[in-house]
Structure 1
């Protein structure tokens, strides 16, 4: 049984925790020095020793732990995790019933009541992401719940909590029958090759499934499409299946080309009819301007922070400049799908980036659609930072 540590909450933070805020942060606690072993249960109290909430100690980039309940008598045991996971799975029944989709999130951290870990489902395989040693201490309980549910092929895990914030590179396999990778999953009828045993990323970002569907169904037909920071080309595949005249995928990572070829191939698309470039996106913008290339649809989904030999990019600082480069090579009445997963700012600020870029370029625009996290990525109502995804579909007006 995990020992209980009492944490004294600063007066100015008590109301937030009472009102439902789930993240325990260092700056709200008076006696952080009492925290020793990650995974310990913590009781948050005021100066009069009045109980506020119960959680666990686990360091990740967001804070030092998560609140699990406001009931002092609730035990954080197998039954607790079973209840949370079963409720989460029941909320995703429509995804299980969807014959066109077999890859989605079944547990989304604090959005489903336990911050610090997520569970994704890939056609019978579970992938658990652990974000702190604290929550990893409860691995046995989580695995037991999945065992009791049964009928899975295998469980894989991603331990994402070493001291430098880097992915811990060791064997991802937990139990079951090891997969033959890639496995081919489907999302809204689109096929994607996924690797569950190859580092932190699997080859597809599940949180973008609504956006990929929109690109295929509403924006790609007959268009010249540029997919920047293209990773494995998932957006490009969606565009090609939506009838795009041609797609161009650009990413600096050398392996992006073979991965993109693979994604086109599993969908029966002739990858040689597409353009796949391994180069710095910013260099490609310069190349496109020199060649007077224009695109009808451009997808911008950069990492929150990236560094190459020539450039350092931060979405919080550099997104307006990225948009300005994009506007220059967007054809008249063309569409830009602008996306970011940076949790440090909200949609209002993101729309401000768009306004700033278009204003400085002296170009009109309208926002056709906006997307946040899809339904399987449940969000905690008192933790807006958890709704990190922001996507705007923008039409250039002149």
Structure 2
């Protein structure tokens, strides 16, 4: 047995069944009593009601998810070697990318890579990490060592500014370097397309890597078309579309002026003149309502909004917002045009999104053909026993 002895917590009878299926969360109601002598974020052993070892994870009495599992192996101690093994497994998976074409990807996807509470994105030779839980926060020094040793990165930046840290009893932090050096901006390649990432100030870790495969899929529809990209941020979909043909025109709409400025720079970075395209700073709903009134028509409409719902309490209103958005999007889409609609709300499922499309189409009395549906890319693996950690839905349709 392990020479290191961890404190332990016992489960109520029959509460280890989900763990036997591989789930990595234990809710506070499953514990017989709060474990003693365990600091917030401290590692402990989980035992069944009969005293049998079940798993090892870290503990937080302040949250509904009391324990997050790190290993089911009683011999596996939570050391820097453990973290190095997990990081090495993650690095191996990302070798599916041709570095000549793509050098930016999600390196650690929390539970999907066996490190709950940790997200790490790689941008060329820079790592940008987000720690969401007290357990991972306690492991930060070991994480830095493991990440730098296993990746060979030049620098590691922590973007611990997520509001979820407050629920864990953690402070919201300013961006800080964990190791090495991190420049103000990093130029990356994605499917041979170039972008500049602001790791220090950009949304999330600086770029939305989870839409890479959808941006690539857009290319086959975009040649010579008139494209509307709503919630365009720094123009990811816009650049892919514009690159397909000099005859392709793209209108990008976002409420953020800095994002619009960055989008134009991305066009220039890929040797596409921004002058032939539109970059509009506006509320998307306001823009679409005006476009409908003016009779605007596009060949392709892209709807990639921020999360409308982050909790079950906001789900009903979120579905109303998605219906309104998709109805407006279809109204500015010419007959036979392509609609790409997305949702990154975790409490909204793929069936919900399909329902929204169907309801919007019925309201407008327009037939819809479902062409392609996507969730996460290969660098955003989802633990098979934890479908609730899946959040992204993207659907290509043809609207008659």
Whether TM-score is above 0.5 comes out as yes
Partner of 2:371: 368
Question: Aligned partners of 1:151, 1:49: CA distance in 2, in Å?
Answer: 42
Matched, 1:294 2:297: yes
Equivalent in 226, 231, 234 of residue 233 of structure 2: 231
1:54 to 53, 56, 71: 56
The residue aligned with 2:9 is 7
Deviations 1:182-214 (A, max 9, x none): 221110011111011225534420111000111
Deviation at 1:55, TM superposition (A): 1.0
Contact 1:315–1:340 at 8 Å: present in 2 too? Answer: no
Match of 1:381 in 2: 384
Tell me how far apart the structure 2 counterparts of residues 29 and 257 of structure 1 sit (CA, whole Å): 50
Equivalent residue number for residue 119 of structure 1: 120
**Residue number in structure 2 paired with 1:178:** 182
How far residue 279 of structure 1 moved from its aligned partner, in angstroms, is 1.1
User: What is the rounded CA distance, in whole Å, between the counterparts of 1:344 and 1:12 in structure 2?
Assistant: 27
Name the counterpart of 2:201.
198
Asked whether 1:42 is paired with 2:67, we answer: no
**8 A Cα contact 2:319 2:356, kept in partner:** no
Aligned pairs, number:
390
- Residues in 2 aligned to 1:93 and 1:380: alpha-carbon distance in whole angstroms: 19
Q: Where does residue 318 of structure 1 map in the other structure?
A: 321
- Counterpart CA distance in 2 for 1:61 and 1:315 is 25
> What is residue 277 of structure 2 aligned with on the other side?
274
What is the deviation of 1:272? Answer: 2.2
**Structure 2 vs 1, CA of residues 263 and 28 (structure 1 numbering), >3 Å: closer, same or farther?**
farther
Counterpart in 2 of 1:396? 399
| Alpha-carbon contact 2:166-2:172 (below 8 Å) kept | no
Partner of 1:309: none
Q: Which residue of 2 aligns with 1:136?
A: 137
1:246 maps to which residue?
249
Unaligned runs of 5+ in 2: 310-314
RMSD of Structure 2 on Structure 1 (CA): 2.7
Q: Equivalent residue for 1:148?
A: 149
Alpha-carbon spacing, 1:257–1:167, altered in 2? closer, same or farther (3 Å) = farther
2-side partners of 1:61 and 1:267: how far apart? 46
State the alpha-carbon separation in 1 of the partners of residues 38 and 298 from structure 2.
55
Instruction: Tell me what 2:312 maps to.
Output: none
C-alpha deviation, 1:259, in angstroms: 1.9
C-alpha separation in 2, matches of 1:123 and 1:346: 32
Partner-residue secondary structure (3-state), 2:40: coil
Please give the alpha-carbon distance, in whole angstroms, between the structure 2 residues aligned to 1:194 and 1:252: 19
Task: Report SS of the residue matched to 1:268.
Answer: coil
Give the Å deviation of 1:71. Answer: 2.1
> Is 123-132 or 46-55 further displaced after alignment?
46-55
Q: Secondary structure at the match of 1:24?
A: strand
CA distance in 2, matches of 1:353, 1:219: 23
- CA–CA separation in structure 1 for the residues paired with 2:224 and 2:29: 53
CA contact (8 A) 2:214 2:374 kept: yes
8 Å Cα contact 1:100-1:186 kept in structure 2: yes
Give the whole-Å Cα distance in 2 for the aligned partners of 1:31 and 1:226: 55
Question: CA shift at 1:388, angstroms?
Answer: 1.6
In the aligned structure 2, how far is the partner of 1:204 from the partner of 1:314?
Answer: 27
**Alignment partners' CA distance in 2, 1:84 and 1:257:** 38
Unmatched 5+ residue regions in structure 1? 307-311
Q: Tell me the CA shift for residue 41 of structure 1.
A: 1.2
Aligned 8 A contact 1:367 1:395 in 2: yes
SS class of match (2:377): coil
C-alpha distance in structure 2 between counterparts of 1:146 and 1:299, whole Å:
36
Rounded to whole Å, the distance in 1 between the matches of 2:86 and 2:205 is: 25
* Cα distance in structure 1, aligned partners of 2:116 and 2:180: 26
SS in 2 for 1:92: helix
CA distance, structure 2, for counterparts of residue 59 and residue 201 of structure 1: 27
